[in-house]
Chains A and B, each alone.
Chain A
């Protein structure tokens, strides 16, 4: 590997794996940087033994064959000296330099130690996404998790983080999370879906665009029926009870805004894990650090603006996967392929050969995703009947009452002012978890989304690390 990489792919999930595999066909200086110890990202997250030769496909995984193909491609490229994989490495910051090169500031994950700088001619940013969260009374109790966290736990531990799980929020991912709980031997008390799914038939017209999604949905449905898991529509969690951990959960009907309807509460006893998720939030901090153009997607996510080659507004910076709009793994693979080819093509000066197959897959998945997002909106009315004492910012323990007081009495009318006055979003997670809630207090949704996604470091770094940063290549 020479000093300046031709293509650096950030993230080894579906988009990143595909981007790295394609880039390595067109370039021999490709670097794949990923925070995880193993390839796969969140979607194909797995344990060490799943990578052993002849290991069976983990039963909670979809598209495992695609993963194995991509992994094989990467292993070949690595053996040929065209690609290097930096595992357990987090990109803490991404700068665009005056000479047009991109500077990546890398630190070890998860400790944030050993800061080094890497220069790249092009970067394919595939940072993925995490569960969108909205506050609910009792959600800080141990046992309450992100729905994605429940599934991630199953994928590596091959066990459920508790015994009886309630999944709540919105979107088809709740079905996938429920299925993995069942497959790992857990019990699912119910799935609460805030939407009413009018106009959304998973096996209907939109699903025909992407047959794989239809099959996946049908498998989940069969599994849920077999285990008699209630799938409750227009139902939200209105309060989670417990003294030092989750014990029971109160669910209520949801109105058209997704707000809990007072007086409709019903208590589900004997719950020890609650998995919450309202869709996904792309990790946008590196996108914003680089100064790339962004926009709001159908689901309210802040995403990067890309052209047909997945190029962002910053020369040399390509985007693939959820950062361009939450579309799921298959769409991400298509985008990753296009981006990886385009990035290598930019470096070599040879125009990338466009693949009609990838482009068509990309548009089908995007169409499917926007139909899905419209059917599963994150409820605008989440705060309507919320207990005033509910913690909104988990890190700094800022309550809804404190936020509304700052808004009404002190005139703080946007997330940044509210952060300054109440500390909401100032804590360890740097507003990642409360961002969806805090943007609702802004008057300009796009500006609010950009403000809450702006983080100068993508992970905390120690001062000792910062003091001894190796900025040798600059």
Chain B
């Protein structure tokens, strides 16, 4: 069975896929979104909903983060309430003089590249976060760091796209690609053939598997992270608060378990506690060690958490990219194939920027930001040793 064709077929209904769909319909393109599960059922429902500039270094990632931030607080501001957007601000806490020194160095560089950041002393930190560990020696405050409820982002962006004619097909798994010569002209799925002018890979950590169907190499690998969720509490943590070591964890390519505390509250009262990073494929085997380390880190940062109950924990798979940059744009190796994946832990925040830029390119316009640094073909054709599983 072959369905009516669309201009764009988006593979993956997570935050990135939903944003691509939203912006494509705004460009007047006809859109269909498929997901092998429920919308938002992958990484988007297993993360914290970060919109961060504080963990970025200068370069194309920061440009994309800033571009996205402007969209969240600009043209998408009218939906802020539906996805619980909070410009809560981020605080990086240094617990030792040595980490304060490296924090200072980082924030000086960030400030030069337009990130709004203030260094605050221990006293000012306690004014902003009265319950933080009294052992902190200093901190950096990033007023622009924000948070959303990612499942709401997915649901509402897809609803907006549907309102402009997009079709969303959940529980629809891609089994192969339709081709005309070398050109990709749609996808074969468990719900029939879906022809399209452009097929967009928004498969997140599963992008390597999907790309393999298209015959191209894209070394996006799953990087597992745990989040613990506490019982609902009256407000006690007011910003996204994390330790200076978190930045190092984000930037590393080490595959073993790293953990550094990230603590933030949600509008519903629960506190979300991260984070860990480990490359264990798509393993669901519980790491008690990761949970214990996250708990120990978090209680060191906020001692009151010792008496707070954790109701559940979950893990998600971030789409890890070897050079820490996402893959966005047309794939020169397979005409008709486009990518929007590989954002690692920043996919929610950068989803809207990614969606808008890709939609501009798909509609034949010049994107607001140069997509060259995100060129999906930059990884080459051969799978390097230790590549994606």
Contacts and interface: CB of A to CB of B under 8 A. Distances in A.
A complexed with B: yes
Interface stretch (B154-162, B241-249, B327-335, B360-368): B154-162
B370 interface: no
A456 interface: yes
Contact of A457 (B39, B168, B313): B313
B155 A411 contact: yes
Contacts of B291: 466
Contacts of B151: 417, 420-421
Interface string B37-72: 011110001000000000000000000000000000
A409 B156 CA distance: 9
A467 interface: yes
Interface in B263-299: 268, 270, 273, 286, 288-289, 291-292, 295-296, 298-299
Nearest to B291: A466
Interface stretch (A81-89, A205-213, A423-431): A423-431
A282 B356 CA distance: 48
A165 to B, nearest CB: 31
Contacts of B289: 471
A95 interface: yes
Interface string A80-118: 000000000000010100000000010000001000010
Contacts of A406: 155
A289 B292 CA distance: 18
A417 B154 CA distance: 10
Contacts of A455: 312
Interface stretch (B86-94, B126-134, B300-308): B300-308
B292 A411 contact: no
A462 B41 contact: no
A327 B2 CA distance: 49
A105 B273 contact: no
B33 to A, nearest CB: 11
A430 B38 contact: no
Contact of A427 (B232, B273, B298): B232
A456 B41 contact: no
A457 to B, nearest CB: 6
A456 B313 contact: yes
Nearest to B44: A420
B37 to A, nearest CB: 9
A438 to B, nearest CB: 14
B27 interface: no
A463 B311 contact: no
B155 A456 contact: no
B309 A462 contact: yes
A460 B152 contact: no
A155 B296 CA distance: 41
Given A406-B155, A466-B291, A411 B162 contact: yes
A244 interface: no
Given A464-B299, A464-B307, A421 B41 contact: no
A420 to B, nearest CB: 3
Contacts of B295: 463-464, 466-467, 469
B273 A463 contact: yes
Interface string A450-474: 0000011100111110111101001
B173 to A, nearest CB: 15
B39 A416 contact: no
B286 A112 contact: no
B39 A411 contact: yes
A474 B313 contact: no
A396 interface: yes
A95 B291 CA distance: 14
A409 B162 CA distance: 10
Interface in B158-178: 158-159, 162, 168, 170
A432 B306 CA distance: 25
24 contacts: A93-B286, A95-B286, A112-B309, A411-B155, A412-B155, A413-B170, A420-B155, A421-B151, A423-B268, A426-B229, A427-B311, A460-B310, A461-B310, A462-B308, A462-B309, A463-B230, A463-B298, A463-B306, A463-B307, A464-B295, A467-B292, A467-B295, A468-B296, A474-B288
Per CB-CB distance, the 4 closest pairs between chain A and chain B, nearest first, are A420-B151, A464-B306, A460-B309, A466-B295
Given A428-B231, A463-B298, A464-B295, 7 more contacts: A95-B288, A413-B170, A417-B38, A421-B152, A456-B286, A460-B311, A469-B292
